[in-house]
Amino acid sequence: MMKNILYKLLHKKSYVNMILGVFFASLMLGSCESDLDDKFYDPEKLTTASFEMLFTGVLQETELFRLEYGPGYHYSRAFNRFLGLGLFPYEALNNVEDGQNKPWAGWSGVNLRETMYKKTYIKFNKNIPAMNLILNGLSEEEKLKMEIYVDCVNVVRAYAFQRLTDTCDDIPYSEAGGAFENNFYAKYDSQQEIYHSILDMLKEVGEKLSTYEITDPVIAEKFAVADILNNGDVMLWAKFANSLRLRMAMRLSIVEPQISEQIIGEIISQNLPLVSEADDFIGMAEKNFAQVMEIYWPRAFKEMYYNFHAPNFMMKNIFGYNGPATPVDQVDPRYKVIFQPNVFGDYVGVDINGPTQFPTIDADMGALGYGADTIQKAKDWAYDDHTEPHFSMYNKLTYNNYKMEYPAFTASETHLLLAEAAIRFPGATGSIDPVEEYKKAISESIDWHYAVNNGNSFSETSFPAIPSKLFEGAKAEKPAAGDISTFLTGKGVTFDAMGNDDKIKEIFYQKFAHLNILNYFEIWSEARRLKKDYGELVPRNKPYAFMERFEYPVGEPQSNPDNYQTVAAKDNPLVPVWWTGRTE
């Protein structure tokens, strides 16, 4: 692992802003300059890397803001099953003991514990030492011109390390990447320490960016080109920073509710800008269409398509679809763009494996008038998932829109966070109305999913092509605005009548529906956070055990033995992480 500290940028008012000083111990750049030169300088090579280009390189790594084939394949195998996001009819699993299958075991299990850990410490960080060298060679005036890059990379680092500690609990943090100071064995910092450190940094950077302007047009132009995530929009970076802080503050609601309330109260009382409108979407689309079916997420979606049968829980319990007679203004219209109809043109979900799966299939297909042979073929899984699915599947037109930006942070999540904050901490949230935030979240999600589905210009014959077969109905007509408005009004009335506990659970299910198969980690984290108070909220496929965390990489006990011993007792997928407030 490489040291990832950038030079501290000093303002005239003694403001200190460092790219990773809040993450790791500071580099003593004066004394270490010659060491860094020795490590990086090669007189036989022409080194022309610019600070801007290195910044772009940080943003474009896969599994940060774009999704990759390999991890996507294994994540879908694990998360679809134990979170109940994607199911399949399979008689052999219907009599398996509850929790007998371990998502962390076997081939996919190894990938779960290795991928994010290594990507965070190596891939996401690989440009930082070179950025250190460039900054160290600049004048004080030139360094200040780079401060926008420094601030924005701080936000990216917060995003990456929040996700890693959420999945692994304690991780190397303050000493990580210490090889450049000849410290090859980094200690593990507690998740509590990491959270507090990142939150402090996000407060500083978020508040600064909220009023920051690039006054030099040359710097602004270069930043707009280099910023492939937010296209040089400084305010959008401020919203990203403040929204990450809101997300992380809510994550502390169980274990440190007073700190959670304090931070959320600060964000709201200061009226800090948040990701709250459709145009605030934080995400990145894939542009390398030539390899989209080779090294990026759509290949995983294609190869694991059998794992993407529509879950009955989402279809019925969340979206309220109970057959074609369901009134249009009483059913969540997202069911038609998140899922596609089966080969017969109907929307039929799959129940979790267990004793109720086949009886539910009998009832649901029988109500549609399907014959005994058709129903048996469905139960026997004797059909091709791509060309003749007997159940609804995740919609190919939506999820194979190769121009789709993968959601890292959306307005819907912000509104749901604010709704929960208003319920938990009414004294800190002022005039925020949880009902209105809840309705806004659903409305934004409806608009986004329909925009992705209806805006897909690819087809079975385009380049790249959508894997066959696209069924009639995959492109869904958006309901009339009046019907959507009536639906949202009804949802608001129902939500308002709930008790606070049921409201918080309903907010979780809206996150479940909105993020679905494109952001497993937030759904998983929220399910773990709420488990202490509400039990297991996800519709877990019962043969698969619920996973509490990723294990550390296989080689960690050998490569960092002394420090690993301090966390060895936690290195178990059934041991909850700190912010859950649970020990089991």
Q: What is the pLDDT of residues 510-524, one digit of tens each?
A: 999 999 999 999 999
Q: Among 115-129, 233-247, 285-299, 332-346, which stretch is predicted with the lowest mean pLDDT?
A: 115-129
* Residue 6 confidence (pLDDT) above 60: no
Could you tell me if residue 155 is inside a domain? Answer: no
**Predicted confidence band of residue 39 (pLDDT cuts 50, 70, 90):** very low
Rounded to whole angstroms, the Cα distance separating 314 from 510 reads 10
Q: Which amino acid is at 221?
A: E
Could you tell me if residue 443 is inside a domain? Answer: yes
pLDDT confidence of residue 543: 96
Contact 133, 40 (CB under 8 A): yes
Rounded to whole angstroms, the Cα distance separating 186 from 493 reads 53
| Whole-Å CA distances, 418 to 129, 183, 206, 247, 263 | 38, 42, 18, 10, 12
Could you tell me if residue 292 is inside a domain? Answer: yes
* Residue 535 confidence (pLDDT) above 70: yes
* Residue 165 confidence (pLDDT) above 50: yes
What pLDDT digit, counting tens, does each position of 174-219 carry?
Answer: 876 555 555 568 899 999 999 999 999 999 999 999 999 999 999 9
What torsion do the CA atoms of 38, 39, 42, 46 make, to the nearest 10 degrees?
-120
> Two tokens at 441?
């979240």
Could you tell me if residue 438 is inside a domain? Answer: yes
Contact 474, 340 (CB under 8 A): yes
What pLDDT digit, counting tens, does each position of 419-456 carry?
Answer: 999 999 999 999 999 999 999 999 999 999 999 999 99
pLDDT confidence of residue 58: 93
> Two tokens at 221?
């132009």
State mean pLDDT over 285-306.
95
**What is the distance, to the nearest Å, from the Cα of residue 393 to the centroid of all Cα atoms in its chain?**
22
**Predicted confidence band of residue 163 (pLDDT cuts 50, 70, 90):** very high
Could you tell me if residue 203 is inside a domain? Answer: no
Q: Among 17-31, 175-189, 272-286, 392-406, which stretch is predicted with the lowest mean pLDDT?
A: 17-31
pLDDT > 70 in the chain, percent: 90
What is the domain range of residue 420?
74-104+284-547
pLDDT confidence of residue 28: 27
Could you tell me if residue 319 is inside a domain? Answer: yes
Could you tell me if residue 334 is inside a domain? Answer: yes
pLDDT confidence of residue 193: 98
pLDDT confidence of residue 3: 28
Q: In 273-368, where does DSSP find H-type helix?
A: 297-303, 312, 335-338, 357-367
State mean pLDDT over 59-66.
94
* Residue 92 confidence (pLDDT) above 90: yes
331 half-sphere exposure, CB direction, 13 A CA radius: 20
| Nearest partner of 437 among 162, 250, 254, 233, judged by Cα | 250
pLDDT confidence of residue 35: 41
Give the Cβ contact number of residue 372 at 10 Å: 10
Higher pLDDT, 241 or 111: 241
What torsion do the CA atoms of 164, 167, 169, 173 make, to the nearest 10 degrees?
-10
Domain count, the chain: 1
* Residue 415 confidence (pLDDT) above 90: yes
pLDDT confidence of residue 21: 36
Higher pLDDT, 39 or 125: 125
Could you tell me if residue 240 is inside a domain? Answer: no
pLDDT > 90 in the chain, percent: 83
Contact 58, 229 (CB under 8 A): no
Residue with tokens 């390189």, as numbered in its chain: 57
What pLDDT digit, counting tens, does each position of 497-512 carry?
Answer: 999 999 999 999 999 9
Q: In 325-429, where does DSSP find H-type helix?
A: 335-338, 357-367, 372-379, 396-399, 411-424
Give the contacts of 141 (CB within 8 A, at least 6 positions apart). none
Give the contacts of 66 (CB within 8 A, at least 6 positions apart). 60, 284, 285, 286, 296, 297, 406
Contact 410, 281 (CB under 8 A): yes
* Residue 17 confidence (pLDDT) above 90: no
